[in-house]
Structures are given as C-alpha cells and as structure tokens.
Structure 1
Amino acid sequence: MKKTFIIFLSSGLLVAGLFTSCKKEIGSLNGPSADDLIKNPTRFELNNLVVGTESGMRNNLDFYLDATGMIGREMYRFAGSEPRYTGDLLGKDNAQPNNNTFYLTNSWNSRYRVVKNCNLLIQGAANSTSITAEQKKGYAGFAKTIKAYELLLNLNLTYTNGVRIEVADPNNPGPFLGYDESLTAIANLLDEGKTDLTGSEILFTLSDGFALAKNGSAVTAAGLLRFNRALAARVAVYRKQWGPALTALNESFFGLNDDLTDGFYHVYSTGPNDQTNLAFFPQNNTGEVRLAHPSYVADITPGDDRIGKATLRTEAASFDELTSNRDVWVYTSNLAPMPIIRQEELILIYAEAKAQLEQLPDAITAINRIRGEHNLTPYAGAVSKEALITENLRQRRFSLYFEGHRWVDMRRYGRLNELPKDRPTDDVFDKMPRPQTEGQ
C-alpha cells in the first residue's frame, strides 16, 4: 500500500496530509487555493481533492456515534470531565441537547467541510481543461454521492429541524429545508450522481475502504455506481418508498447470500497526518469508556453471537447513577474499519421493503438469512407486515449496533417511546437543535 499526498479544506484553509491509498499521486506542494481548484485545476489537484474529501469523511465520526448511540439508548459514554454526555443527551433533570456543544457541532461542521470539498470538486471538474467530458462526469458523480451521504448524516441529527442543501456560496447559503424536503434533495443528489457516473471515466484512486466491496469495488465507475445505489436504497426506505428501494438495491452490490461484511468502509492508519479510529476504546478501560446499554444484553436472544459486540468487563463501571458491566466492542482496534454501508444493512433494507409491500415470504427469507448467520433458529413468529417489521427492527438493532442506526430506525417508525429511560427525569429526544452558528 502506498501513500497519497492530499490537500483538503479544513475551516476554509488548505491543509496537507497523508491518507492511505493505492496509488501515488502528488500534485502541487505549494498549496493551491480554493480559486485554483475552481477555475482550471489540473488532474493532480482534482485527485488530491478527491482523496482529501474521503479523508475528511472520517473526521469526528466518534461524536456522531456517541450522540446517536446515547439518545438511541445503545450505549453509555462516560467521561469524568464531561457530564454532558449523560446529562444533555439523556435528558437528565430536564436537560436538552445544546445547540452550541461539541457533541453536535464537531460532527456537523466536519460534514459540511466535506460538502464544501465536494462543491469545489464539482465546480473544478466542470471548469478543468485538462480532463475529458467522461472524466468530468466521474469526478462530479463521486462528489455528488459523497455530498448526499454527508448531508444525510447531518439530517439524521437534526431531523425536522432540517439541513441546508445549497451551501456552495458561503456568503449566501440556501435556506434550511424540512425533513421530507431534505430527504428529497438528498435523493435527487444521489440520482444526479448516478447519471454522472453512468458512462463516466474514473481517473482518481480511493482508499482500501472503497475496495473492500467484493461485488462493488469503487475503483471503477461501475463500482462507484453500486455504492451510490446502496446509499439510494437507504434513503428510499427513510422516505417510505419501498419499490424504489428495491430498484436501488438491484443496482447496488446487494446479494442475499453474500458475505455480510461486504461493503464500503472508512479506513484508518497510524501514518503521519492520518488518523486512527476514535470510536475504539480498549476493553476494561477506566475513566473514558463506552459501555453497552444494559438493555442490549437483556434483550438479545441467548446464543446470538452478536453478544460479542458487548463484551463482559472484569468490573462494572458506574457514573451519574448509570451502570453497565459490558464494553462496546464493535471497533476492536484503533485501526478497525468503520462501515459506511455494508451487505448486512442491504439485506435488512430488502427485508423491510418486502414486508412493507406485503411480500412476506421474501421478507422472511431475508430475515432468516440474518438470523441464521448469527446462530439463531428460523423466524417462527406471526406472519404479518406488522410482525415482520418489528422483527426486522430487532435484527437491525443487533446487526447494526453502534453504527448510527438505532435512534433513526426507532424514530422513523414512531417507536421512540419504546426506548428505555434509566432515571426518573430522563427523556428520549427525537432530534438535535440547529447549531447556534446556523441561526434560527
């Protein structure tokens, strides 16, 4: 594996760094400005911006997982110097998520920095005279796909408070759109990305995380298109568009009998100016810990191998009237890859769409694919749409644990009231506020 010299925008400044990739591609070391990247960039400058965009996607994801995991009652984040995890995020004593606090703003700002990179890439590729029309489409298709994904993560946080979609002009950003409008805009971006990727030529390389998908490796236009359609399937179920979800799945890397880990990932390294996976904490850590919510263990079926995502500690940890004796053990080293989207989720999307369309035998087949993979007997519950949706949500809970889905899933099915409250004054919130810097 070689290293790629990259540039990426961080708080409006061009920063140099290293990121794991498969090909050496060194552009201008003099630090090209944003204007250079828009007016007529070279292929080297565009390629550096692509890799910088992928690198930036990883920034502050630990805060995103902590926020969604805490509110979704998947886990506890204990930090002796930071009581807002167990206070604000759990609603202790009428506390609420704050609009100017790290657990919101760190992740939110990182996502929009990547969106800014994507906008530069779209504009730069369109104006570049050193690449062909097909190559322009490749850059634009990648950028629109990543932009849509980053906007979706922020929308997952703010829900009906919405997101800004049009931010290409920082001095005149577009308005906040409501939840449904935002989802529609994100879906449209993915569709535009699909159109661009179709018939495109890919000049750039991506990290090994985009080469892990056995049926959809994104080193080609076809692979990036499969990645795009997998994300489109996720957005379609959020929009309750079950037929389009299945269509998108059929165009993605979905395979009912394929390896559940097949997919696209963020990857990490200890190389200079790279980063490690900050969602990893060692087992039996003290002080700074991530612990499985007790309900994860209480609710899991005996024999389910997904109990391995919540390993037993040698000693329970307690803080702020909360206690758990299980560590979160999803990312088992500081170099463990973090999924963007993988086969197990696609199979569960398929099951959900089939159940909603009342194609119940197909839904059961998919659910049993997941159950069997985790040492469970075939589904033997009621055969109805409602029962299978409940079963699918259960499988999503354990299969996609600490990947940022539980809170979103319970919210989109109106089941937040089923999440446990550990203390008498706790609350379960349905959204985060808009960050203070965005105005109201």
Structure 2
Amino acid sequence: MKSKYFKIACFSAGLSLMTVASCKKFVEIDPPINAFNSATAYDNDDLVRSNIAGLHSYNFITGSGYYDTDSHQYPGFSADEITYYTTANDQFTENNIQDANATNRGMWTAPYKTIYQSNLMIEALAKAKTISAPVMAEALGTAKFFRGLAHLNLVSIYGDVPLVLETDVKKTTSLPRTPAAQVYKQIITDLVEAKAELKGINKSSAYVNEKSTTALLARTYLYDKQWDKAANSATELISGPLKGTLALETDVSKVYQRASKETILAISSDGSAKTRVNYTYLATIYLPVLRTTHNITDDLYNAFEANDKRKENWIGTWTAGGITTHYPFKYKLKAAPTNTALAEDQVYIRLTEMYLIRAEALAQLGRTEEAMDDVNAIRVRAGLNTLPRTLGKTDVLLAVEKERRFEFFTDGHRWIDLVRTGRADAVLGALKGAKWKSYAQLYPVPAKEIELNPNLTQNPGYNKQ
C-alpha cells in the first residue's frame, strides 16, 4: 500500500531558499521509511522518532544519490581508481572540471540540502515542549551527525566553504566561504556533542549512534591533523569501550555483506518503497550487463601484490570481443538474493578504516612500530606477509597509503587521501602527466552558486576557464 504523502519545506539546490514564485510552496514526496515534516514533527515522541528515521531516509535513501553513488564514483574518476567506458566523465578523469559542470554542482548542493534539513530539525527541537529527554537527545545527535558529515564532505572537496548553522534564508544566501580550519572546528563540535547525545542508542548500523559518530570523529581528527585524538577515537572502536561485537572479518568476501562484523554505519537496503531489497544501488551501477561501464584502472589493478585476497574478491573480470576489462566487485548483488544471509547494505564506515586511521596517526606521532601493527593486521587479513615493524616514518605512511588504496577503492576515500596528505601532485602528476594541474586538487565552486551568492569566491585556477 502506498504510504501517505508528507510535506517538506521547499529549498533550492544551493544555499538559498526558492521563492514561492519560482517553485511550488511545498514539494510532495513519498519517503520509504518515515517523513521529515518541519511543521508537525515535534508534537510527541513518536513523531520525533519518525523524523529521526526520516532524516536517515532523506539523506541516505531518497536523496539525489550523492551519499551512495556520486561521492564514491566521481572522486574515483578524479583519482586513479576508475574510468568510464565513454567520454561522459572526462572532466573528472582528466581533472578539468568546468565550473558549469552539473555533476560538480550536485556535489556541492547535496550536502547543503543535508545541512538545511539538519538545521531545520535542530531549530524545531529548540522550540519543542513535550519531548522526553532521551528522544530529544537522539534527535539532536542525529541532526548534528548529518550536519557534521555534510560539512566534512564539502570541506574535503572544495576547501573553504560557507559554514551554515541556521535556516534563515536572509543570512544563508549571502554567506562567504569560511576558512577550512573554522569549518573543521565546528564539525568537531557537532560530532562531540552528537556522540554524547547518542550514547546508549542501540539500533542497527543503518542508524547513526555513538559508534558511528566516534568513527566520523576519528576521520575528522585525522583530516584536521589532530593525531592524538584521531588515534584515541579509533582505539575506542578497535579495542576500547565501543568495540562491542566489532571485529575484522577474516574472510574478505564477507566484508560488504549486511552481516559483516566490521560494519559501523551502512546505507540500508531494507526493501521499502524506494530502496532495493537486500542489494545496493551502487552494485547496479558497477556490475556489468552488456559491458563494463566503470573500469578499474590498469594502474590500480597492477598495483596489488600477488595473492592479495582483496584483488581476488573485490575486482571482477569481464571479457567481450577479445577485450578484457576489470570492474569493482565489492558488492556482488544486482538483484535480491535467494539466501537473505547474503544480503548487502552499502557500507559507509567500517572498522578497517579505524585501524588505518590509527596507524597513520601513530606514525605521525613517531610511534611507528605500533602503527605497523595496525597495518599488518590489515595485510594479514588480505592474505599478505607482514612488513617489518622497523620501517621509518616515511615508509610507514606510504604503507598506510597503500593499504588505504586497496581497502577503500571506489569507497570515496582515495581522492581525499591524496589531497589531504599532499601526495596528489606526486601520484597523479606522474600518472596523468601534462593533463594534471595542481590547482585541480580542489573542485571548482559551481558558477551558478557564485551567481546566486556574489560573496562566494572561486578556487584558484578556475577563473581562467
């Protein structure tokens, strides 16, 4: 039976609200889990719980495809992971993104939609009078998690970005870019508060909770070069009070299954009206039908060591017309499995990342032997020999970079990793030659957003386009 329609306040793809004259006053949608309704969402605990689920649904399921597809594949084109079978993504693969590129604009606007909805919830909760303390805390924590995640994704791709903490269109439509350091500070504030507010929430990995918030904090601390805090947050999940049943899967073929012991946060494929049943949308993009469309680059394919189980299990091979190509095969299903034990949700954060966050942070702190213990834990799981614990700091960091590349290819990490560690020029310059331009490490601010908000400025290099 089709669910009842709910109303969500209409807002533009960018920071500015649409006027009544330029769109319908409300956009009607049919959410697959629950509604997010700013007008009546906070009358009682049940409605707030419904909108907690609705915020997850809005961002991870019913949205533009940003979180489950675009934020994975397009940075993969920009880096050295995948190419498309036609020229459709040349601007990304050749690192020549034009400021009028529609996909790039979506990479900017989708997180700001998340931020708007998160701010809407935070502001409404401040006025709510009849909500119990536990439900209030969970709702606030959920909104702050998503606001932090969205700002983190933006600052990682564009550098300085407007920091948006309210819904007042008169203010948000004219915000200038905020220095990245200040954006990181706010992200950390949001996540620290969210972690406390989500303490004790016992839901599936399809919902944000204390574990996923701690994991995102570890990632943020790493990106912000707060090495001690990054290592400590990761340790909470590896061996500390938040470990619970989390563990590295000994069989890499099970890592991306719903039942994986290392999943911290996942995008659900729960079978509701607008989700796939027990398989992921990303798989329908990557897995071949008549041809492979997203091809693993030769550079990545040839970089794996012999007998690496990740290469054997996570990369597929396709031969047609005498031509052999390779494609991402982390997700195996493009239809519902007969055996539901094989069901797949799209993994968004997993325990392996915590090991490699801690390894990188410890290496930066000079604790290289401990760092190598974490690197070797991942290598052993992949069926590889351990590396010496006596490696120097530079070699340890390169070992971490290598394992991150093999663990997280097409998961949306590689591009950000190369840029944040200052390795993009060396790695991509060597691979792409004269096509590579150093300024391309930051994506261009969409021209349309600058047109809408003259206080925005363009990233260096793109004004020549």
TM bracket (short chain): 0.7 to 0.9
SS of match in other structure, 1:177: coil
The C-alpha deviation readout for 1:274-329, integer Å capped at 9, x for no partner, is: 357332236443467111111111111000011132211113899xxxxx711121
Q: 1:148 to 1:8 in 2, by over 3 A?
A: farther
Q: 1:363 to 1:267 in 2, by over 3 A?
A: same
Displacement of 1:5 in angstroms is: 7.4
CA contact (8 A) 2:98 2:444 kept: yes
CA contact (8 A) 1:283 1:313 kept: no
2:289 to 282, 285, 292: 285
Counterpart position of 2:273: 272
2:360 to 352, 356, 364: 352
Displacement of 1:394 in angstroms is: 0.3
CA contact (8 A) 1:306 1:374 kept: yes
Report the more deviating stretch, 380-389 or 416-425: 416-425
Q: 1:11 to 1:330 in 2, by over 3 A?
A: farther
CA contact (8 A) 2:235 2:354 kept: no
Counterpart position of 1:426: 435
Counterpart position of 1:258: 247
Letter in structure 1 aligned against 2:416: V
CA contact (8 A) 1:46 1:121 kept: no
Counterpart position of 2:71: 64
Counterparts of 1:392 and 1:399, CA distance in 2 = 10
Counterpart position of 1:321: none
TM-score in terms of structure 2 length: 0.77
Letter in structure 1 aligned against 2:263: D
Counterpart position of 1:215: none
Letter in structure 2 aligned against 1:314: T
Counterpart position of 1:105: 105
Q: 1:395 to 1:190 in 2, by over 3 A?
A: same
Task: Please state which structure has a larger fraction of its residues in strand.
Answer: 1
Counterparts of 1:45 and 1:64, CA distance in 2 = 31
CA contact (8 A) 2:359 2:371 kept: yes
Matches within 5 A, 1:397-408: 397-408=405-416
Counterparts of 2:322 and 2:105, CA distance in 1 = 28
Q: 1:268 to 1:197 in 2, by over 3 A?
A: closer
Counterparts of 2:411 and 2:179, CA distance in 1 = 25
Displacement of 1:390 in angstroms is: 0.5
Q: 1:156 to 1:341 in 2, by over 3 A?
A: same
Matched, 1:77 2:90: no
Counterpart position of 1:245: 230
Matched, 1:210 2:206: yes
The C-alpha deviation readout for 1:238-280, integer Å capped at 9, x for no partner, is: 0111111122224444589822533211122553233573322
Letter in structure 2 aligned against 1:418: V
CA contact (8 A) 1:242 1:354 kept: yes
Letter in structure 2 aligned against 1:434: V
Q: 1:255 to 1:352 in 2, by over 3 A?
A: farther
Letter in structure 2 aligned against 1:184: K
Counterparts of 2:298 and 2:221, CA distance in 1 = 32
Counterparts of 1:361 and 1:427, CA distance in 2 = 35
Displacement of 1:6 in angstroms is: 8.6
Counterparts of 1:153 and 1:187, CA distance in 2 = 13
2:304 to 274, 293, 300: 300
Counterpart position of 1:152: 152
| % same residue | 18
Counterparts of 1:225 and 1:434, CA distance in 2 = 33
Q: 1:406 to 1:235 in 2, by over 3 A?
A: same
Matches within 5 A, 1:148-227: 148-158=148-158, 160-173=159-172, 174-198=175-199, 208-210=204-206, 224-227=209-212
2:402 to 389, 394, 419: 394
Displacement of 1:420 in angstroms is: 6.2
Letter in structure 2 aligned against 1:259: L
Counterpart position of 1:384: 392
Counterpart position of 2:350: 342
Counterparts of 1:8 and 1:398, CA distance in 2 = 43
CA contact (8 A) 1:165 1:176 kept: no
1:438 to 429, 446, 449: 449
Counterparts of 1:108 and 1:328, CA distance in 2 = 25
CA contact (8 A) 2:222 2:230 kept: yes
TM-score in terms of structure 1 length: 0.81
What is the root-mean-square deviation in Å for CA atoms of aligned residues?
Answer: 3.2
Matched, 1:123 2:123: yes
Q: 1:258 to 1:274 in 2, by over 3 A?
A: closer
Report the more deviating stretch, 234-243 or 273-282: 273-282
Letter in structure 2 aligned against 1:165: V
Displacement of 1:129 in angstroms is: 2.1
Matches within 5 A, 1:302-381: 302-307=306-311, 308-315=313-320, 325-334=325-334, 336-380=344-388
CA contact (8 A) 1:11 1:113 kept: no
Letter in structure 1 aligned against 2:30: G
Aligned length: 399
Q: 1:379 to 1:4 in 2, by over 3 A?
A: farther
Report the more deviating stretch, 250-259 or 184-193: 250-259
CA contact (8 A) 1:265 1:338 kept: yes
CA contact (8 A) 2:144 2:194 kept: yes
Counterparts of 2:46 and 2:293, CA distance in 1 = 42
Structure 1 stretches of 5 or more lacking a match? 212-217, 219-223, 319-323
CA contact (8 A) 1:162 1:179 kept: yes
CA contact (8 A) 1:305 1:375 kept: yes
